[in-house]
Amino acid sequence: MSDQPEMIRVEAVSKTFTLHNQGSVRLPVFRDVNFSVRAGEVLVLAGASGAGKSSLLRILYGNYLPSGGRIEIRHDGAMVDIASALPRTILEVRRRTLGFVSQFLRVIPRVSALDIVRDPLLARGVDAAEATERAGAMLARLNLPERLWALAPATFSGGEQQRVNIARSFVDPSPVMLIDEPTASLDARNRDVVVDLIAEARSRGSAIVGIFHDESVRERVATRWLDITHFRAAADAA
């Protein structure tokens, strides 16, 4: 594994929330977080609820701003620091390199499930016919009934929406994938599909960082663990 390139390199990252409208309360989350992830690895973030696992994942995506440190993501063969990159650079890195799988689907009015799943393929230049075929295959694999494909997911159940979201993320796995509780409202059969999808993305060389509530899923996908609790202790002591 160590001959694989580093895809993520996190250096001295800290995060403190300042709530300006609540007496400027400062909430330290963690500090001096350091790790790297190589292609083909699945790093599972561990630590009790509130330790800052989701915040760390969001910082890696550029969705939260770190209070200090660097987050380097390999993009087109060079490392890009997400913490200081321009918005358009971050968007370009997200389009081609960096994916985020959340437990919630952000529903866009009037857009069908199939189009939601096709979208990342089209954005990467796959032709429409192939994109449709691959999107359909992925929805079928996640057991979403074909009669739902042409509908906008606003009226779908939580589990159905989650599967649309997962299909969108795994239809063309990104070189770097950040995964937040992908199996939260799935039944055992679909949970197994997700575990397989993660394993396949990994074998294709994706570097993955994830949070998995389900212990059996965690055990099956992890190649390494990172307990972020002790970064939190450091933040509290500071």
Partner 1 sequence: MNALVSPNALQGTLRPILSARSVSRFYGERIGCAEVSFDLWPGEVLGIVGESGSGKSTLLRCLSGIDRPDAGEVLFEATPGADFLDIFDLPEQERRHLMRTAWGIVHQNPRDGLRMDVSAGGNVGERLMDRGDRHYGRIREAATEWLTRVEIEAARIDDRPRQFSGGMQQRLQIARVLVSNPRLVFMDEPTGGLDVSVQARLLDLLRVLVRDLGLAAIIVTHDLAVARLLTDRLMVMKDGRVVEAGLTDQVLDDPQHAYTQLLTSAVLAV
- Which residues make up the interface to partner 1 (CB under 8 A)? 5-6, 18-21, 58, 62-65, 72, 75-81, 84-92, 108-111
Residue with smaller CB distance to partner 1, 48 or 111 = 111
Residue with smaller CB distance to partner 1, 87 or 145 = 87
Least gap, CB of 189 to partner 1 (angstroms):
31
Least gap, CB of 119 to partner 1 (angstroms):
9
How many Å apart are CA 165 and CA 116, to the nearest integer?
A: 8
Cα angle 135, 108, 54 (rounded to 5 degrees) comes to 85
Distances (CA, A) of 24 to 6, 14, 16, 19, 82: 38, 18, 12, 5, 27
Least gap, CB of 217 to partner 1 (angstroms):
26
Q: What are the structure tokens assigned to 65, written together?
A: 């701003």
Q: How far apart are the first and last CA of the chain?
A: 36
Least gap, CB of 156 to partner 1 (angstroms):
17
Residue with smaller CB distance to partner 1, 119 or 227 = 119
Residue with smaller CB distance to partner 1, 65 or 137 = 65
Least gap, CB of 23 to partner 1 (angstroms):
11
Least gap, CB of 134 to partner 1 (angstroms):
20
Residue with smaller CB distance to partner 1, 20 or 189 = 20
Pairing mode, strands 98-101 and 176-180: parallel
Q: Are 47 and 225 in contact (CB under 8 A)?
A: no
How would you class 42 by CB atoms within 10 Å of its CB: exposed for 0-12, middle for 13-18, buried for 19 or more?
Answer: buried
Residue with smaller CB distance to partner 1, 123 or 140 = 123
Q: Are 8 and 176 in contact (CB under 8 A)?
A: yes
Q: Which residues contact 126 (CB under 8 A, 6 or more apart)?
A: 134, 172
Task: Reduce the DSSP state of residue 50 to 3 states and report it.
Answer: coil
